Amino acid sequence: MRITLLAGGVGGARFLRGLAAAAPDAQVTVIGNTGDDITLFGLHVCPDLDTVMYTLGGAVSEEQGWGRAGETYTVQSELAAYGAGPDWFRLGDRDLATHIARTAMLRAGLPLSAVTRRLCERWQPGVTLLPMTDDDVRTHVIVDDGEGTRTIHFQEWWVRLHAKVPARGFLPVGAERATPAPGVLDAIAGADFVLLPPSNPVVSIGVILAIPGIAEAVAAKTVVGVSPVIGGAPVRGMADACLAAIGVKPDAAAVAAHYGPGLLDGWLVDTADAGAAFAADLAGIEVRALPLYMTDVPAAAAIAAAAIGLARELLG
């Protein structure tokens, strides 16, 4: 069974860990969001790719959901001693080795897709991890913080400002000129079905879908999504701040309607949102309700199994 997913950071990675438990023999390809990427101290950091790689490679910091377990911050404190900023984005010593290795390979001329494959040789995540594109795409946030409307890098809004400054919108800068990375369109077309894990629908899955060609390729497949919102609030992260910026209510039915019946064939909602099954604007989307909190791997596996079951049912 070949399954392809579009994934962002922590929510996607935790779902993938459940998928590996639910379908150990499936051939899984993950198309990862690179709109969160940031260059710091000359190093190319790929938060969403690294979160998937570390989580499935067994090295992620469980309490953070990102970065490495057992991390130390000697380099960062030395940089701070020089007054070398920014200091609001925590880069641990082990994590820095990933960014140094990645940046060295990029400088040697390797595309990000080849670099990601090389880094995954160490971590053996058990999936094929592809960046959505090898081109530079960076999500910027339009904010109006009293100094007039301006755009800031997603990480500055997300990490330094804790998404507390209301976002007026999001710009995946460079997306319109980007092309899907090698293997991305084939992985979508060749999949038995596509799953949308509970990643951020705006700045993670939405940015991947903004790469020309990807949305059309996904829409041609049987697609089952998992709501990232339970009972009117995001499970983690600040998806509600992102949804508000684009005028989407933080509820399971509204997120499905945002993706639309042109993209989604099936939608998993938490039992708290079982009423979503009757939302008029979800006509054409098969809605199923089950517990969606990924409290541990078995819980995530049950959700993944339900997503697979619904996809197979819809495939007929």
Q: Which one, 246 or 277, has the nearer CB to ligand FO1?
A: 246
240 binds ligand FO1 (CB under 6 A): no
Applying CB under 6 A, which of residues 15, 158, 170, 267 lies at the interface with ligand FO1?
158
Burial zone of 77 (CB within 10 Å; 0-12 exposed, 13-18 middle, 19+ buried): exposed
Minimum Å gap between C-beta 285 and ligand FO1 is: 25
Applying CB under 6 A, which of residues 4, 139, 155, 222 lies at the interface with ligand FO1?
155
Burial zone of 174 (CB within 10 Å; 0-12 exposed, 13-18 middle, 19+ buried): middle
| The pair of three-digit structure tokens given for residue 123, joined into one six-digit string | 């971590």
CA–CA distances in Å: residue 198 to residues 10, 13, 73, 89, 161: 9, 9, 30, 24, 23
Q: Which one, 43 or 253, has the nearer CB to ligand FO1?
A: 43
Q: Which of residues 95-154 bind ligand FO1 (CB under 6 A)?
A: 95
Applying CB under 6 A, which of residues 32, 47, 228, 266 lies at the interface with ligand FO1?
47
| The pair of three-digit structure tokens given for residue 265, joined into one six-digit string | 């064939």
Q: Which one, 41 or 66, has the nearer CB to ligand FO1?
A: 66
* φ, ψ of residue 33 in degrees (nearest 5): -75, 130
Query: Pick from 161, 118, 122, 124: which is nearest to 141 by CA?
Result: 161
Q: Which one, 22 or 45, has the nearer CB to ligand FO1?
A: 45
41 binds ligand FO1 (CB under 6 A): no
29 binds ligand FO1 (CB under 6 A): no
- Give the per-residue contact string, 53-72, with ligand FO1 (x = CB under 6 A; - = no): -------------xx-----
Q: Which residue has the tokens 């600040």?
A: 238
Minimum Å gap between C-beta 194 and ligand FO1 is: 20
159 binds ligand FO1 (CB under 6 A): yes
Q: Which stretch binds ligand FO1 (CB under 6 A): 88-96, 137-145, 244-252, 272-280?
A: 88-96
The amino acid present at 152, given as its one-letter code, is I
48 binds ligand FO1 (CB under 6 A): yes
Minimum Å gap between C-beta 61 and ligand FO1 is: 10
Q: Which of residues 181-220 bind ligand FO1 (CB under 6 A)?
A: none
Break the chain down into helix, strand, coil percent, rounded to 5.
40, 20, 40
Q: Which residues contact 230 (CB under 8 A, 6 or more apart)?
A: 252, 270, 272, 273, 292, 293
* CA dist., res. 280 & res. 287, Å (int): 12
Return residues touching ligand FO1 (CB under 6 A). Answer: 8-9, 36, 45, 47-48, 50-51, 66-67, 89-91, 95, 155, 158-159
